[in-house]
Structure 1
Amino acid sequence: MVEPPQGPSRPQYDDEISLVDLATTFLRRRRVFYVIFLVVSLVGVVYALFVPEKYEYVSLMKLAEKANGTYVEEPATIIAELDSLWVPDLQATYHAENSRNLPFKLTASNPKDTGLIRIVSEASPPLAELIEKNHRKLIERLSSEQEQALSRLRKSLEKQIASLDSTIKMLEEGENTGDAIASAVEKQLALESDLQSLSPFEALVVSRQSGENAGTSRSLIVVLSIMLGLMAGVFIAFLAEFIGLVRNQLAGE
């Protein structure tokens, strides 16, 4: 009777590791795991207890506005100036005076579809006074620039109105100038309306502290430290076993 061909047998390796071997190794080195887990977790808890709370400090400004919801200077232009000129100048001045960098960032943004400029810094409460001081410097610089731009626009409108007024008086002395006078008066009224609708720059909020901690949550730090302790403990336990086996091998040779 012919026996059916046998399939290829699975090779056996001496160095295969089973779950039982892993569990045995872990139990043998469990003291290493406990020590590493407790040390890492305690370090995380201590750090969570002593890490300083951070808050957001927000300044909010409204740009000078023209008629029809347009602005004397576009918000995007203001943000570009803040990011590329004014904030770096402020940081350089602080570094020159104190031989160190400003201990917080100054971030400027423009809420979508608004004429608002928002300056935000994140730091611990002891820096609140320094943050307010630097926010005010930026606000004062922006206010000065906005006032100058608004003044130039106001003078331009007043000049155009005065010119139209002279034109109207000249037309009144002529004949058959009714249509021209009406057009000039209409334009003059429109310019006067634009002049009246000019709205100045305004600082709405200066360095207001947020109500909630903007930094990493203490509970999150504790949870992450426990997870890190578990992973580090397991890794070090198996590493200790590996080192022990290597030493035994070298001792045997």
Structure 2
Amino acid sequence: MSNSIQRQPEYGDEISLVDLATTFVRRRHTFYVTFILVVILGVIFAFIKPEKYEFNSLVQLGKDGADNFIETPVAVVATLENRWIPDLSTRYAEINQAKLPFKIAVANPGETGLIRLSTETTLDNAELVEEFHKELIDNIVKRQTQRIETVTSALNGQTLALNEVIEALSLRDGEGAASALASVFEKRAELEGQIAAIQSAQVLAVARQGIDAKGVSKVLIVVLAIVLGAMMGIFLAFISEFLSLVRDNLSEIDE
């Protein structure tokens, strides 16, 4: 067994925390300039960034006398997304030579008869949003009204036909006629109940503005700017030191 003491190899290229701290202090001006510049840009962006709000409109679809929707919510949503909204966008583009500055989203919350129109945009577009939402709602209500009139007309026609049957049965005698007459009266009462139970479409809200602004808050933008400024400042401080060392080495080689 050898009595010689084996020396641990020395690593001259190792970087200690002292070296890192020394480098950072030497390049602290680079850090300060970068940090302050990024924070200032973040603050400016936070205060000039326009706030967006959500505008919602709600329509309750009508029902026939049998408690069925006059038109299924799925069909209404499909018509809005594939016909009426594209028509509005095309018309706006033709008149203004520009795209519509916002989007109109359509949804049917849960298994309800509600149709919701949602738009997220700045307050500058509030009047335009209200105008377009109203037009879409008018289209929904108009088609609902037409279908309700069709259903009502059909039920009224059946009621008139039953009235004629009642008049004819009233002229007859016998138990059979009386039984048939009672059945017809019951059927007519059922039809009248269906007519009375018909529900028209109802407009619950038009371009109602949300209370809170949407998107990233100003405070969060400033905080992110501070974090990003610190990270970029440290990075550029060490990069500038690295480039300085490379430049010095190249100068020594040239000499």
TM-score per shorter chain, which class? Answer: 0.7 to 0.9
C-alpha distance in 1 between matches for 2:8 and 2:104 = 66
Deviates more, 1:84-93 or 1:107-116: 107-116
Instruction: Using the TM superposition, give the Cα deviation of residue 70 of structure 1 relative to its aligned residue in structure 2, in angstroms.
Output: 3.0
* Preserved contact between residue 31 and residue 236 of structure 2 (Cα < 8 Å): yes
Taking only aligned residues, the RMSD between alpha carbons, in angstroms, comes to 2.5
Q: What SS class does the counterpart of residue 149 from structure 2 fall into?
A: helix
Instruction: Using the TM superposition, give the Cα deviation of residue 93 of structure 1 relative to its aligned residue in structure 2, in angstroms.
Output: 1.0
Instruction: Using the TM superposition, give the Cα deviation of residue 183 of structure 1 relative to its aligned residue in structure 2, in angstroms.
Output: 3.3
Are positions 1:188 and 2:188 aligned together? yes
**2:39 aligned partner, one-letter code:** S
C-alpha distance in 2 between matches for 1:218 and 1:249 = 46
Output the TM-score relative to the length of structure 2.
0.87
Q: What SS class does the counterpart of residue 70 from structure 2 fall into?
A: coil
**1:90/1:251 CA distance change after superposition, 3 Å:** same
* Preserved contact between residue 55 and residue 210 of structure 2 (Cα < 8 Å): yes
* Preserved contact between residue 64 and residue 151 of structure 2 (Cα < 8 Å): no
Output the TM-score relative to the length of structure 1.
0.88
CA offsets 1:123-181 (integer angstroms, 9 cap, x no match) = 22221111111111111111111111111111122222223333444455375244444
CA offsets 1:34-65 (integer angstroms, 9 cap, x no match) = 11110010111111122222222222222112
Deviates more, 1:169-178 or 1:232-241: 169-178
Residue of structure 1 in register with 2:20 after alignment: 22
Residue of structure 2 in register with 1:85 after alignment: 83
Q: Identify the match of residue 146 of structure 1 among 134, 144, 147.
A: 144
Instruction: Using the TM superposition, give the Cα deviation of residue 209 of structure 1 relative to its aligned residue in structure 2, in angstroms.
Output: 1.8
**2:190 aligned partner, one-letter code:** A
**2:87 aligned partner, one-letter code:** D
* Preserved contact between residue 62 and residue 198 of structure 2 (Cα < 8 Å): yes
**1:245 aligned partner, one-letter code:** L
1:40-79 matched pairs, under 5 angstroms: 40-67=38-65, 69-79=67-77
Instruction: Using the TM superposition, give the Cα deviation of residue 196 of structure 1 relative to its aligned residue in structure 2, in angstroms.
Output: 0.8
Deviates more, 1:202-211 or 1:97-106: 202-211
Are positions 1:251 and 2:220 aligned together? no
**1:235/1:170 CA distance change after superposition, 3 Å:** farther
Give structure 1 stretches of 5+ with no counterpart: none
Q: Identify the match of residue 166 of structure 1 among 157, 164, 167.
A: 164
**1:246 aligned partner, one-letter code:** V
Taking only the aligned residue pairs, the percentage that are identical comes to: 40
Deviates more, 1:47-56 or 1:14-23: 14-23
**1:154/1:23 CA distance change after superposition, 3 Å:** same
Instruction: Using the TM superposition, give the Cα deviation of residue 195 of structure 1 relative to its aligned residue in structure 2, in angstroms.
Output: 0.8
Q: What SS class does the counterpart of residue 229 from structure 1 fall into?
A: helix
1:100-111 matched pairs, under 5 angstroms: 100-111=98-109
C-alpha distance in 2 between matches for 1:83 and 1:102 = 15
Q: What SS class does the counterpart of residue 58 from structure 1 fall into?
A: strand
Q: Identify the match of residue 113 of structure 1 among 111, 114, 120.
A: 111
Residue of structure 2 in register with 1:207 after alignment: 207
Deviates more, 1:9-18 or 1:90-99: 9-18
C-alpha distance in 1 between matches for 2:7 and 2:105 = 68
C-alpha distance in 2 between matches for 1:240 and 1:15 = 19
**1:196/1:242 CA distance change after superposition, 3 Å:** same
**1:37/1:166 CA distance change after superposition, 3 Å:** same
Are positions 1:241 and 2:233 aligned together? no
C-alpha distance in 1 between matches for 2:78 and 2:246 = 61
C-alpha distance in 2 between matches for 1:79 and 1:37 = 50
C-alpha distance in 2 between matches for 1:124 and 1:238 = 42
